[in-house]
Structure 1
Amino acid sequence: MNGAVEFPLDLAELSFRAAGESLVRRSVLPSGVRILSEHVPGSRSLTIGYWVAVGSRDEQPGHFGSTHFLEHLLFKGTQKRTALDIAVAFDSVGGEHNAMTAKEYTCYYAKVQDRDLSMAVEVLTDMITSSLLDPVEFENERGVILEELAMADDDPADVANERFFEAVMGAHPLGRPIGGTRETIQAATRAAVWEHYRANYRPQDLVVTVAGAVDHDVLVAAVTRALLLAGWDLGEYAAPVARRTGRAALISQGDPVTIVRRPLEQANLLVGVPGLLAADDRRVTMSVLNSIFGGGMSSRLFQEVREKRGLAYSVYSFAPGYSDAGLFGMYAGCTPAKAGQVVELMLGELNRLAEGGVTADEMKRASGQLSGASALALEDSDTRMSRLGRSEITLGEFVDLDEALRRLALVTAEDVQELAAELVAGPISVAAVGALDDDAFTAALTAARH
């Protein structure tokens, strides 16, 4: 495979060899259902995912929290299976099954032996197409989700993360919490969640991806059969739902400094700026920058904040990207009295990166870290399955390991410095949770930002 492989929505069949001689195949059914597989030589197991390109950012007023609510409810029973039946189906073969709600998609997945593909397809298809959203289960699950949110609210790192996204993204839907809030979950109605379900779980929305020990023709036949048994009309033509535009949104920063006071031994700090879109060609440059700046024990943040000064146990940077926005963030957990000093160091290091650039040794270490981590991650069929899903839903192209390494090799020190300078020029947002002295912390922030 040379270069990325495009995934046109109007192309019915596609097949190619990827790095390591894995075979990638893609079929788009007339109904709009998309089925992708990656056969990995030597595998005895597989991971299967059912994806819909709807996440928390897509919820409209009156439906806030519906995406996460629905993720829970699809495990609670169908016309054919109870919640226990679904659990037993996977437990009895030693399989794993779960789901994830993200800001721009939802995925229901399972990992099983190759011989159990048919079972996994049947159960996941039944869940996706035929959930009852039983009123009793709906109220039971409301309580479960509220407990989940309460658990997250007891975790200061989670609280800081939510406040940080609100600060950077402002009123943009990406700034909303994925799981909803206590208020939106309490206000959710079965009718609203049902409406969300029927509007977004249609043939043209569905993407099925499988990686590991999989035969594509067998997979397509199994999925088609299961969908027909579920009552879906696969004979009616529908184009797959269009991908998100990929145009940068106009983001208005929220509160630049958010402090949540709690009587904790540690302050949880997040500092950051707007970043890059998921499809930006400079995402690989961002990966190199992130590796050098805060991506490991040899990174600048780790060395300056933890190793040289002992100010934090956990300190790192991160750079999520979405279809129309992104962010670059730095995290540290430290003694409240040292919070101002830690933020000053974080911003100082980012400015130093923008002004002084990076060394040849740092570039070499980042290349080795990223290439090695990428190769090791692909030992897991979960990673390969997720790569297929994101390639289809978000990027519209497939990038294998060889192409990823080729792109990585093209990144220069100048590219990294230019991107760092762009980040430094962005509006700085800070979110902190802990027993902070508001005046002292704000004064330290003011000094650091100037």
Structure 2
Amino acid sequence: MNAAVKFPLNVPELSFRAAGDALVRRTVLPSGVRILSEQVPGSRSLTVGYWVAVGSRDELPGHFGSTHFLEHLLFKGTPTRTAFDIAISFDEVGGEHNAMTAKEYTCYYAKVQDRDLSMAVEVLTDMLTSSTLDAIEFETERGVILEELAMADDDPADVASERFFEAVLGGHPLGRPIGGSAQTIRGATRTGVNEHYQANYRPQDLVVTVAGAVDHDALVAGVVRALELAGWDLSVPAAPVVRRVDHPATITQGKSVTIVHRPLEQANLLIGMPGILATDDRRVTMSVLNSIFGGGMSSRLFQEVREKRGLAYSVYSFAPGYSDAGLFGMYAGCSPAKAGQVAELLLSELHRLAEHGVTDEEMRRAAGQLSGASALALEDSDTRMSRLGRSEITLGEFADLDEALRRLALVTKDDVQELAAELARGPVSIVAVGALSDDTFASIIPVGA
């Protein structure tokens, strides 16, 4: 590959060689189902994922938490398999299976030996297409999810993270918690979750990605066979669902300061502002910025906050991007008495980066960190499977390791400084969980501002 390969929705077949002589193939069926594979030389195992481009942001009022609720329910049985049957299918071959609900997609996945691909396809297809949403299982799983939410509410880092998205993104759907709330889960109905299921789990919504020891033609044949056995009529023409609009949304900040009072020994502190979109051409620049600023033990935040001042054990930055919005955040776990000082230090480091830029040595280290981490991650078929899914659902293009390194080499110090300056001009949101007073951050943002 010499450049990224585009994934047009109206092209039925694509095939190309990627870095490391991996063979990438993509088939778009007339029904809209998309099947992608990356055959990796020397692999003996593979990871398969079934994706639908619906996440928590897509839920309508009265259905908040339905996407995550449904993810749980698809493991609870079909007309031909019980929940125990599903579990045994993977356990007896030493495989792994799980699912993840995100803000913009849901994925059901499994990792197995190459000889067990047919089984994985059959079981995942059955789960995704034919869940019974049994009424008794529905109530049982409601209790499980309420326990999951309670567990998260007992974790101050989770509480801070949920409130942080709400603070930065305000009323945007991305600001809502993925799992809903205890109130919305208690109010969820089987009919409502089933409506969500029927509306979003259709042939034109489905993306299947497999990476590792996979033969594409056999994969396509297996997926088609399993879908038809499940009762999906693949002869009905349909275009794949269009990708999300990637124009920046208008973001209205939530609260500038949010303090959740908890009698804890440590404060969990998050500070941030709007970031960039997942499809922004500057996403590689953001990766370099994040690496230099808070991406490792040699980063500025780690050195300034932990190594030089001993103010925190854990300190880092992060930059999630979505189709029409993004965030840039800084985290520190510190003594409640030091929270104000740490907050000022985090922001001052960002402004120092924006005003004075970065050094050649920092750029060299960031390039080494990012290129090395990318190469090591691709040793895992899970990462390659996820890359295929994000490429199809979010980006609309596939960039292999060589292309990623080429783009990384194009990032300049000026690029990093300009992006840092843009971030530093954004509205600042502070979220903290711990034994803090309401005026802890008054020196940064006056109380009531």
Alignment of 1:179-198 (within 5 A): 179-198=179-198
Deviation digits for residues 189-242 of structure 1 (CA, Å, limit 9, x no counterpart):
000000000000000000000000000000000000000000000000000000
Alignment of 1:251-270 (within 5 A): 251-270=251-270
Gaps of 5+ in 2: none
Q: Alignment partner of 1:133: what SS?
A: coil
RMSD value, Cα: 1.0
- Asked if residue 445 in structure 1 is aligned to residue 438 in structure 2, the reply is no
CA contact (8 A) 2:256 2:445 kept: no
Deviation digits for residues 71-93 of structure 1 (CA, Å, limit 9, x no counterpart):
00000000000000000000000
CA distance in 1, matches of 2:295, 2:125: 38
CA contact (8 A) 1:38 1:212 kept: yes
Q: 1:65: how far off?
A: 0.7
Q: 1:62: how far off?
A: 1.5
Q: 1:438: how far off?
A: 1.8
Match of 2:402 in 1: 402
Deviation digits for residues 227-267 of structure 1 (CA, Å, limit 9, x no counterpart):
00000000000000000010100000000100000000000
Match of 2:427 in 1: 427
CA distance in 1, matches of 2:32, 2:125: 15
What is the identity, as a one-letter code, of the residue corresponding to 1:262? R
What is the identity, as a one-letter code, of the residue corresponding to 1:446? I
Q: Alignment partner of 2:271: what SS?
A: strand
CA distance in 2, matches of 1:420, 1:209: 35
Q: 1:446: how far off?
A: 3.2
CA distance in 2, matches of 1:84, 1:337: 50
Match of 2:43 in 1: 43
Q: Alignment partner of 1:375: what SS?
A: helix
What is the identity, as a one-letter code, of the residue corresponding to 1:351? H
CA contact (8 A) 2:203 2:234 kept: yes
Match of 2:90 in 1: 90
CA distance in 1, matches of 2:24, 2:262: 50
Match of 1:67 in 2: 67
Q: Alignment partner of 2:251: what SS?
A: coil
Match of 1:126 in 2: 126
CA distance in 2, matches of 1:18, 1:274: 34
Alignment of 1:85-234 (within 5 A): 85-234=85-234
Q: 1:445: how far off?
A: 2.5
Q: 1:410: how far off?
A: 0.2
CA distance in 2, matches of 1:408, 1:443: 39
What is the identity, as a one-letter code, of the residue corresponding to 2:100? M
Q: 1:63: how far off?
A: 1.0
Alignment of 1:318-337 (within 5 A): 318-337=318-337
CA distance in 2, matches of 1:435, 1:209: 46
Match of 2:374 in 1: 374
CA distance in 2, matches of 1:322, 1:191: 30
What is the identity, as a one-letter code, of the residue corresponding to 1:59? E
CA contact (8 A) 2:7 2:396 kept: yes
CA contact (8 A) 1:288 1:363 kept: yes
Q: 1:368: how far off?
A: 0.2
CA contact (8 A) 1:341 1:444 kept: no
Q: Alignment partner of 1:438: what SS?
A: coil
Number of positions where the alignment pairs a residue of Structure 1 with one of Structure 2: 448
Q: Alignment partner of 2:31: what SS?
A: coil
CA distance in 1, matches of 2:63, 2:309: 47
What is the identity, as a one-letter code, of the residue corresponding to 1:145? I
What is the identity, as a one-letter code, of the residue corresponding to 1:13? E
Match of 2:16 in 1: 16
CA distance in 2, matches of 1:304, 1:196: 48
CA distance in 1, matches of 2:31, 2:438: 57
Q: 1:444: how far off?
A: 3.2
What is the identity, as a one-letter code, of the residue corresponding to 1:306? R
Percent identity reads 82
What is the identity, as a one-letter code, of the residue corresponding to 1:228? E
CA distance in 2, matches of 1:445, 1:71: 41
Q: 1:437: how far off?
A: 1.9
CA contact (8 A) 1:209 1:388 kept: yes
CA distance in 2, matches of 1:245, 1:423: 23
CA distance in 2, matches of 1:108, 1:32: 19
Match of 2:302 in 1: 302
Q: What TM-score does the superposition give when structure 2 sets the normalisation length?
A: 0.99
Deviation digits for residues 257-305 of structure 1 (CA, Å, limit 9, x no counterpart):
0000000000000000100000000000000000000000000000000
